[in-house]
Structure formats: structure tokens, C-alpha cells
Chain A
Amino acid sequence: MGATVKNFIKQLGLPRLIILALFIALCITAVVLKQDFGLISSDVIRRFGMFGVLALAMIPSIQCGTGPNFALPIGVICGLLGALITIEFGLTSPALGRGFISAVLIALPFAVASGLVYGMLLNRIKGSEMLVATYTGFSIVSFMQIGWVTLPFNHPEMVWPIGKGLRVTIALDSSYGGVLNNFMAFYIGGTKIPTGLLLFFFGSCFIVWLFSRSKAGIALRAAGDNPRFAAASGIDVDKNRIIGTVLSTVIGAIGIIVYSQSYGFLSLYLDPLYMAFPAVAAVLIGGASTRKARISHAIIGVFLFQGILTVALPVANQMFPEGNLSEVLRMIVQNGIILYALTKVGGEA
């Protein structure tokens, strides 16, 4: 009995156990403090769907062997471009999901192209993917700051009334804001179930799962699991790494569009800078490592991570009315789990 418990803890990892305990403790505190259960659970579900697709983007990149995609901002930028172009040309008819579908479709070619280029880059720097990815993401985001000022967007809802460039946040009320959240939404008790959002997220998971069962998906995982063995059995490892990167970038682009429709705003400039970290942390919390990940890891991880943050918010506000304890908690949990995963990578010497 003792041995199995020990084994279970070892398999789960101490940090995950702490996080799980924290989540349960927070839930109990919320009940004790008589928080509005409906409001909190609605929020947990909404944020679960909102961040889900972004976390899902980590799965193909981990599976193909390039590690968690710290360069997620590349995909995010592509998604933002898709959304911006959609609004600029007014492709927001109800048939196009009030712009949601058109944004996804426009983002796709950008994401595929940049994923290809980025995948080729990753093939030259094997072994240091995470670090280089982080700074590639940072560089792209800071470069696109110049882009947001200089690109020829003119739509009055997006540009500053005076001066040059796009606004920092762009409201999506007149386009696809909330389109998934409100699709067939219903209430159980006080809890709002955003059916469209959940359907979309689980649908995306299902598609990624289907892909991983296909011949291409199996080759991809083989290339990631054991590159030498894969190469020996005739799998082009480099090509599969590129496929994984493209997939991850594409899912990232779709992810930010889903995120923004739930958030109600597009946020530009420095906001995408740290986008990758919560997504990476989520899959790691769900049980993934930097080398192995399953779709269930993304689902469980996002639920736990966003669950903690959402429940912590009202609880922390009641205990410490000033100061953002929830944000501090996010920083500690998020970076703590990434550090833990890094210590498990295994050193060179």
C-alpha cells in the first residue's frame, strides 16, 4: 500500500501533487467563504475553452520532438493578422461566423508559411529549441510592434482616431466577439455552459487525435520519440519536425482567434509576448514532459491551471482586497512547473 502510494506520487511528481492540493484547497476555501458558485464555475469553463486551443498547440510540437512550443507568439501573430484583415475588409457576415471562420481561413496561409520557415530554423538548432524558440517569439512580437504601427490598416474601429497605427486593444463587439461562447449556450443552475466554445475545443482535440492515429501522425511521433530509430526505419525526421511545427503554429493561430472571441478583444503590441508560458505550463501540469505529451494532458492541464487561477481570484480578493494575489500565484505556479519539467530533461554530462 505504502509502496503504491509512493510510486503514484513519484509518477505524478511532487509539483503536480502540490498543484492538485492547491486546487482542492482553493475550492474548499471558496465554499467556506460563500463565493457565488455559479459565477466561478461559469468562469472556469469559459477560461478552460478560451485557453484550451492554445495549450493544444503544444501537443504536436512536443510529439514531433521539438519540445514545448515557446515560439507560440508566431502563431498568435498569424491569428491576429487573420482577425485584423477580416475586420479591415468587413468579412463579418453571419455566414462566416461573423468573421470567425474568415479570420481562421485568412490566418491559415500565414501560419503555414511561418511554421515552415520556423520549422527549418528549428532543424538547425536541435538541442536548444526551447531557448531559441523563446527568443524567436520575443523577437517576432517586438518586430510586429513596428508592424502594427506601419501596416496600412484603415478601419476606424481599429486605428487610433488621432495619430498612426492600430490600437492596443480592438473590441470585437461588431465582429466575432463571443460568437462561440454564445452559440447554443445554456444555463445549469447558475452555471453558463458555452456550448459552442466547448464543442470547438473538443472538436479540435478530436481532429488532433485523429491526425495522431493516421500514418502521418504515427511517423511524427516516431520521429519525436526516438529520432535515430525513426531515421533507421526510413522516416524523414527533419520533415516530420517541420510538420509538427507547422501544425503547432496553425493551432496557435486558431487558438488566439478562439481566445480573442471569448475575451472580446484583440490585444496587440506587447500582449502576445508571454502568451506561450501559460500554455506550456498547462500541458506540463496536465502530465506532459518536454518529450512526451498526450491530448488528455492538454485537457486536464488547462482545466487545472485555469481552474486554480479562476477560483483563486475571488478568494484572494476577499482575503487581500488590494494587490493581485491571483496574478502572483499564476507566476509562481506557471514558472514553477516549467522549471520542474526542465530539471527532468536530463543533463548532457
Chain B
Amino acid sequence: MAEVSKVVVNKTDKSDSKNAIKRFLVDSSVPVLFVIVCLLGVYFSKLPMLYIVNELMTRITRNAFLVLALIIPVIAGLGLNFGIVIGAMAGQFAIIAVKHWHIGGFAGFMACIALSTPMAILFGILTAKLLNRTKGQEMISSMIAGFFATGIYQFILLFLVGTLIPMKDEVLVLTRGIGITNTIDLSKGGNLTYSLDNLLKLPLFEVLAAASVAALIIILINFYMQRKNGREYSHFKLAWRILLCIGIFATSFYIISAKSPLRTVKLPIATTVAILALCLFNSLILKTKLGQDFRTIGQDLHIAKISGIDVDRTRQIAVVISTILAAWGQIIFLQNIGTLSTYGSHVQVATFAIAAILLGGASVTKATNGQAILGVILFHTLFIVSPKAGNNLFGEAQIGEFFRAFVAYGVIGVALGLHAWKKTVVIRKK
């Protein structure tokens, strides 16, 4: 008898570890695949490392905030929020107003943030009303809502400005007195360009070296505290984190001491702090009652309703938060780009952000800060290297450009398809 049970236990143990490996491979197959694709792209593009790192730095700090804005709706079971386009529009409305009033510098940036927030709240509430009426079809609804809102946005800026909305501005308004110009240079008349980035800039690798040392100390203190309290602590996780810190420190130290040209790369500190603060917010909110409600309705709407959660209201809060963050993210994005393409800047925001977070290994039902950051790095590496790699491999830069567009759409398509497939399998099992 004892032997039999032992055998059974052994068997389950084995299949469990097998499952764990399998699960890890399935879960992270997308990031692993694209790490390889990116490395190949970097190799074949033959671009200088300094250029890639510099460009990547700019793009990560520019875009990460927008991608992180996607996380809360995923946790709340609304899927990938294509509606961040609408948030981006709120940001752009604010920028146009602030440009009109010629407020520049950091004050201008804060004015944009302050002005965009009430608009984003309003847009978020409207989006949430729609999404609460289309439960089960949130993603397509938020996507079409984005298209619809683009139409309204264009109507307001092209035809209402100068007619219903009185606005006189020689720079911003078209010569006929109606409608906003196609492109707005943010650096002229109240400079908004780099208004956040240029607050403080420090050499990237010195910051990384210091940060990795600090992180190492925090991790070790945390480890001792946990052990003191007698809590279990995964040694694998600990080792992995320590190794990562040491790795970052070693690379940074090497780059600084070897006087490699890479040490000139500078990191915009204020933007980075904003991104880190959002990461912190995303993880802290889960520890609150609200965050737990998000999780519950994300797992099962029906059970959430029975256990007394106001489902519609909680979903509304999730959408509003995401919309506000998207508005701020778009402002951060544009202060770095330096020009606002009035009718184009927001259009691809959702597609690119969603493609990025999916490349990082997120899915329709699960997304973390780490996945968002990894995804941004992978997505933008691909963006930087693919035209040059395409040129070197096929003699045609276009092919690389088309390839990255295909990756953006394809990865979303595959992720959505897999999610839908899983859903039908679950239903069939029931």
C-alpha cells in the first residue's frame, strides 16, 4: 500500500515539474522568440552600439508610461484597452490649449497634465459607460470607440475651432481662421520640448551602477527581514535577482572604467522617476481594497457581483485610471518628440503600446510591470534595427519597415486568437 502511494506521489511530482517547465516555455515563448529576433536584427543591422543604446534610451523613456497605462484594465478583466487612444486625445487637447497660452518649460508641462486630467476623467467615464454595455466585447468596442472618437476629435479641431469655439492664434489656427494646423512645433512660443526630460539628466551607466548597488542592498535587507519573520522566500527568485543586479553593475562598471563611448548616454531622471512611480502605483493599487476588487471582477464577473462588488462602477474606475494615465503618457511622449501632429500623433498609440506589452509576454488576462518594460525594450529595438537589417539582408529598407508593421499587427492578432481559443476550450470543458 505504502509503495503504491509513493509511486503515485512521485509521478505527480514529476509531471508537476514537467508542467512547470512547459508552462514557463509556453508563457514566455513570445518574449524569448523576440529576444532572439531582436538580437539577430541588432547583429544584421550593423548599427553602432552607441546609436542603438542612445536611441533605445530615448524611446523607452518616451513610450513606457503609455504602455504601463494598459495594465489596470487587463487586471480588471477588460482586456487590452484600445481606448488609450481617447486618453491620448485628452493629452493633445491640453497641449494645444497650453501652446495657445504660451506657457513653456516645466510649468507648461504641469499645466498640460493639470488640464488633461479632467478631460481624461470625462472621456474615461464615457468610454466606461460604453464598455459596460458591451461586456464580453470590450476590446473591439474600445477599438471602434477609438476610431469614433478620432472622428469627433477631428470635427472639433478642424471645424468647431474658430466657429463655435472662439480662438485666435496666428500660429495654431489655419489661415482661414477655422481649424488647427496639421503640425504644431512644441519648441516655439513657450517651449514644451523636453520640458520633463531636461529637468535633470545624468549619465545612464553611472545611474545604473548606483541603482543596482542600491537594489542589491534592498533585496538583501528584504531577504533577512523575511527570514526573521519566518516567511518562506523563494531561493530561486533571490538568486535570480542578485545575479541580475550584479550583472547590471558589472556591465555599467565595465563601460565606465573602459571609457567606452557608451558612457556618454544620458538618462532623463524626471521621466524615469515618473515611469517608476507608475510601476509602483500599479503594484501598490493591487494591495488596496479597490485593487482586490479589480482582481475579483477580472477573474469572474458573476462571482464578483454575488460577493457584493459594484461591478460597473469598479470597471469604470479602472477605465478612468487608464485613460488619465494615457493622457499623461501622451504628454510625456510628445514633449520628447517635440512636434505634435495634430491629426496623427494619437492614431497608432494603442496599436503600438499593445503590441509592445504583448511582445513582453503579457496576455489579454495577465500583464505586469516587468512585461510592459521588457516589451517596450523589445518593440523599440525592433523598430530601430529592422529598416537597416532589412536593407542589409534583402537590399531593401522597406522590407524591414513592413516587417515591423507586420510584427505589430501580427503579435496582437496571434495573442487575441490564442486568448479566444483558450476561452472556447474552457467553455467546452464546462
A interacts with B: yes
- Could you tell me which A residues sit within 8 Å of B by CB distance? 121, 124-128, 130-132, 134-136, 138-139, 141-143, 145-146, 149-150, 164-165, 277, 320-323, 325, 328-332, 334-336, 338-339, 342-343, 345, 347-349
Determine, out of B139-147, B199-207, B261-269, the stretch whose residues face the partner at the interface. B139-147
Q: Is A331 in contact with B150, judged by CB distance below 8 angstroms?
A: yes
Q: Is A328 in contact with B151, judged by CB distance below 8 angstroms?
A: yes
Q: Does B189 contact A (CB under 8 A)?
A: no
Q: Is B159 in contact with A320, judged by CB distance below 8 angstroms?
A: yes
| Known contacts A125-B417, A322-B176, A332 near B410 by CB under 8 Å | no
| CA A320 to CA B155, docked complex, whole Å | 12
A residues near B403, Cβ cutoff 8 Å: 146
| Known contacts A146-B399, A338-B144, A128 near B420 by CB under 8 Å | yes
| Known contacts A339-B145, A345-B137, A145 near B424 by CB under 8 Å | no
B 400-430 binary contact with A (CB < 8 Å = 1; else 0): 0011011011101100110111011001000
8 contacts between A and B (CB under 8 A): A128-B416, A131-B420, A141-B409, A146-B403, A328-B151, A331-B148, A335-B145, A343-B134
Q: Is A332 in contact with B159, judged by CB distance below 8 angstroms?
A: no
| CA A321 to CA B394, docked complex, whole Å | 45
Specify which of A124, A323, A347 is in contact with B134 (CB 8 Å cutoff). A347
If over half of B's interface residues share one DSSP class (helix, strand or loop), that class is named, otherwise mixed; here it is helix
B 137-178 binary contact with A (CB < 8 Å = 1; else 0): 101110111011011101100110000000000000010101
Specify which of A127, A136, A277 is in contact with B413 (CB 8 Å cutoff). A136
| Known contacts A135-B409, A142-B409, A164 near B396 by CB under 8 Å | yes
B residues near A342, Cβ cutoff 8 Å: 134, 137, 140-141, 144
CB distance from B294 to the nearest CB of A (A): 16
| Known contacts A130-B137, A325-B159, A347-B133, A143 near B406 by CB under 8 Å | yes
Q: Does B23 contact A (CB under 8 A)?
A: no
Q: Is A132 in contact with B416, judged by CB distance below 8 angstroms?
A: yes
Specify which of A139, A328, A343, A349 is in contact with B154 (CB 8 Å cutoff). A328
A residues near B417, Cβ cutoff 8 Å: 121, 124-125, 132, 135-136
| CA A45 to CA B181, docked complex, whole Å | 35
CB distance from B385 to the nearest CB of A (A): 17
B residues near A142, Cβ cutoff 8 Å: 402, 405-406, 408-410
Q: Does B130 contact A (CB under 8 A)?
A: yes
B 245-256 binary contact with A (CB < 8 Å = 1; else 0): 000000000000
Q: Does B188 contact A (CB under 8 A)?
A: no
Considering the complex, give the chain B residue whose CB is closest to the CB of A332.
B151
Considering the complex, give the chain A residue whose CB is closest to the CB of B404.
A142
Specify which of A127, A325, A336 is in contact with B136 (CB 8 Å cutoff). A127
Considering the complex, give the chain B residue whose CB is closest to the CB of A333.
B151
Q: Is B140 in contact with A131, judged by CB distance below 8 angstroms?
A: yes
A residues near B134, Cβ cutoff 8 Å: 342-343, 345, 347
Specify which of B140, B405, B408, B413 is in contact with A130 (CB 8 Å cutoff). B140
Considering the complex, give the chain A residue whose CB is closest to the CB of B428.
A126
Considering the complex, give the chain A residue whose CB is closest to the CB of B418.
A125
| CA A131 to CA B136, docked complex, whole Å | 11
| CA A136 to CA B416, docked complex, whole Å | 10
B residues near A130, Cβ cutoff 8 Å: 137, 140
Q: Is A332 in contact with B155, judged by CB distance below 8 angstroms?
A: yes
A residues near B423, Cβ cutoff 8 Å: 125, 127-128
- Could you tell me which B residues sit within 8 Å of A by CB distance? 130, 133-137, 139-141, 143-145, 147-148, 150-152, 154-155, 158-159, 174, 176, 178-179, 301-302, 305, 311, 394-396, 398-399, 402-403, 405-406, 408-410, 412-413, 416-417, 419-421, 423-424, 427
| CA A121 to CA B421, docked complex, whole Å | 9
CB distance from B163 to the nearest CB of A (A): 9
Q: Is A124 in contact with B421, judged by CB distance below 8 angstroms?
A: yes
For the complex with contacts A127-B424, A339-B130, A345-B136, 4 further pairs of A-B residues with Cβ separation under 8 Å are A130-B140, A331-B150, A331-B154, A347-B137
Q: Is B399 in contact with A150, judged by CB distance below 8 angstroms?
A: yes
A residues near B147, Cβ cutoff 8 Å: 277, 331, 334-335
| CA A335 to CA B142, docked complex, whole Å | 11
| Known contacts A332-B148, A339-B144, A139 near B409 by CB under 8 Å | yes
| CA A254 to CA B135, docked complex, whole Å | 35
CB distance from B381 to the nearest CB of A (A): 19
CB distance from A279 to the nearest CB of B (A): 14
| Known contacts A125-B417, A127-B423, A150-B399, A328 near B137 by CB under 8 Å | no
| CA A124 to CA B427, docked complex, whole Å | 12
Q: Is A135 in contact with B416, judged by CB distance below 8 angstroms?
A: yes
Q: Is B179 in contact with A322, judged by CB distance below 8 angstroms?
A: yes
If over half of A's interface residues share one DSSP class (helix, strand or loop), that class is named, otherwise mixed; here it is helix
Specify which of A131, A146, A150, A323 is in contact with B416 (CB 8 Å cutoff). A131
| CA A336 to CA B144, docked complex, whole Å | 8
| CA A135 to CA B418, docked complex, whole Å | 12
Q: Is A149 in contact with B396, judged by CB distance below 8 angstroms?
A: yes
Q: Is B399 in contact with A149, judged by CB distance below 8 angstroms?
A: yes
CB distance from B149 to the nearest CB of A (A): 8
Q: Is A323 in contact with B158, judged by CB distance below 8 angstroms?
A: yes
| CA A330 to CA B311, docked complex, whole Å | 34
Considering the complex, give the chain A residue whose CB is closest to the CB of B139.
A131
| CA A328 to CA B427, docked complex, whole Å | 41
Considering the complex, give the chain A residue whose CB is closest to the CB of B395.
A164
Specify which of B148, B159, B396, B412 is in contact with A135 (CB 8 Å cutoff). B412
**Interface core residue of B408, B416, B417 (most chain A CB under 10 Å):** B417
Considering the complex, give the chain A residue whose CB is closest to the CB of B175.
A322
Considering the complex, give the chain B residue whose CB is closest to the CB of A349.
B301
Q: Is A145 in contact with B402, judged by CB distance below 8 angstroms?
A: yes
| Known contacts A142-B402, A328-B151, A335 near B144 by CB under 8 Å | yes
B residues near A323, Cβ cutoff 8 Å: 158-159, 174, 178-179
A residues near B144, Cβ cutoff 8 Å: 335, 338-339, 342
Q: Is A343 in contact with B130, judged by CB distance below 8 angstroms?
A: yes
| CA A14 to CA B253, docked complex, whole Å | 66
A residues near B410, Cβ cutoff 8 Å: 139, 142-143
Specify which of B135, B398, B402, B413 is in contact with A132 (CB 8 Å cutoff). B413
Considering the complex, give the chain B residue whose CB is closest to the CB of A343.
B133
Q: Is A349 in contact with B399, judged by CB distance below 8 angstroms?
A: no
CB distance from B202 to the nearest CB of A (A): 39
Q: Is B398 in contact with A149, judged by CB distance below 8 angstroms?
A: yes
Specify which of A141, A146, A149, A335 is in contact with B148 (CB 8 Å cutoff). A335
Q: Is B406 in contact with A139, judged by CB distance below 8 angstroms?
A: yes
B residues near A136, Cβ cutoff 8 Å: 413, 417
| CA A125 to CA B364, docked complex, whole Å | 14
Q: Is A125 in contact with B409, judged by CB distance below 8 angstroms?
A: no
B residues near A139, Cβ cutoff 8 Å: 406, 409-410, 412-413
CB distance from B414 to the nearest CB of A (A): 8
| CA A165 to CA B397, docked complex, whole Å | 12
B residues near A149, Cβ cutoff 8 Å: 396, 398-399, 402
| Known contacts A124-B421, A150-B399, A323-B159, A336 near B148 by CB under 8 Å | yes
| CA A124 to CA B152, docked complex, whole Å | 36
